[in-house]
């Protein structure tokens, strides 16, 4: 979808910027991936004996597919609320660098902290990826409104998918549900590869993929953290070496 030029009068209104953000949902393939993923999450919540209202509320407030799966499975297996909250919090830490990298793209001298609260909540992997694609074509003073539209549009897609998946759970086989959930990491992998522009990005991605099978042999459930931290550290070292030379 082509956005209006940066100097177009269409950007004069925050409401129009919000509308452009909402319309942008239709132009990203990740919206379809999210739909399929949250279809599976809705079915998972149904099979775990949670109500539809609870499922929709958890999607809106957790707003991270992997963390929501952790929440449903831990509570469904009999874990306490404290244990589930701790597991979700550990999973959500991975989103912190995304928030830190996205918020400076929207700040202006007039931006107050409260203006960024909803943006910070809406920032998950999909929004993070699409911000780098869309925001260069959006005037800086309208980027917050644009992201509000994009993020809430994506959330509406997920809530709709939750409802459909929950309703059709009885007809969704476990194999199909597992296959649908696998679409998310695959789509994010391809999106990350597409956005690799620096050598350090490529090194981090390739090393992360290569080190993950080795990290799984360590056990303890820290395989993704160990491989990602190691690959990222090496990639940062490569970047610093290139800067110095």
Q: Which pTM value belongs to this model?
A: 0.74
Task: Average the pLDDT over 116-135 and give the result.
Answer: 91
The two structure tokens encoding residue 13: 């209104």
Place 119 in a pLDDT band, splitting at 50, 70 and 90.
Answer: very high
Rounded CA-CA distance 167/52 in Å is 9
Buried b (16+ CB within 10 A) or exposed e, 83-102: ebeebbeebbebbeebbeeb
Place 157 in a pLDDT band, splitting at 50, 70 and 90.
Answer: very high
176-233: pLDDT as tens digits = 766 766 665 676 677 677 767 788 888 988 998 898 888 878 765 566 667 888 888 9
Alpha carbon separation from 11 to 16, 26, 110, 132, 146 (Å, rounded): 7, 19, 17, 19, 10
Per the listing, tokens 């509308």 go with: 19
Quick check: helix, strand or coil at residue 49?
coil
Rounded CA-CA distance 45/41 in Å is 6
Task: Name the strand (E) or helix (H) holding 199.
Answer: helix 199-216
């Amino acid at each position: 979808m082509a956005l209006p030029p940066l100097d177009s009068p269409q950007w004069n209104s925050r409401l129009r910027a919000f509308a452009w953000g909402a319309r942008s949902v239709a132009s990203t393939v990740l919206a379809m991936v999210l739909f399929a993923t949250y279809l599976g999450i809705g079915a998972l919540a149904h099979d775990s004996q949670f109500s539809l209202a609870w499922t929709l509320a958890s999607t809106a407030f957790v707003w991270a597919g992997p963390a929501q799966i952790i929440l449903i499975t831990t509570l469904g297996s009999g874990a306490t609320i404290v244990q589930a909250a701790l597991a979700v919090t550990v999973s959500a830490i991975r989103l912190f660098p995304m928030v830190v990298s996205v918020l400076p793209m929207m700040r202006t001298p007039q931006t107050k902290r409260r203006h960024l609260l909803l943006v910070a909540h809406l920032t998950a992997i999909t929004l993070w990826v699409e911000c780098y694609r869309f925001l260069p074509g959006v005037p800086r003073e309208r980027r917050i409104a644009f992201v509000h539209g994009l993020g809430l549009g994506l959330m509406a897609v997920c809530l709709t998918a939750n409802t459909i998946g929950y309703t059709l759970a009885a007809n969704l086989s476990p194999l199909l549900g597992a296959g649908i959930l696998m679409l998310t990491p695959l789509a994010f992998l391809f999106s990350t590869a597409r956005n690799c522009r620096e050598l350090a990005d490529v090194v981090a991605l390739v090393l992360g993929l290569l080190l993950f099978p080795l990290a799984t042999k360590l056990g303890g459930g820290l395989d993704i953290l160990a491989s990602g931290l190691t690959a990222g550290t090496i990639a940062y070292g490569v970047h610093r070496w290139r800067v110095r030379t």
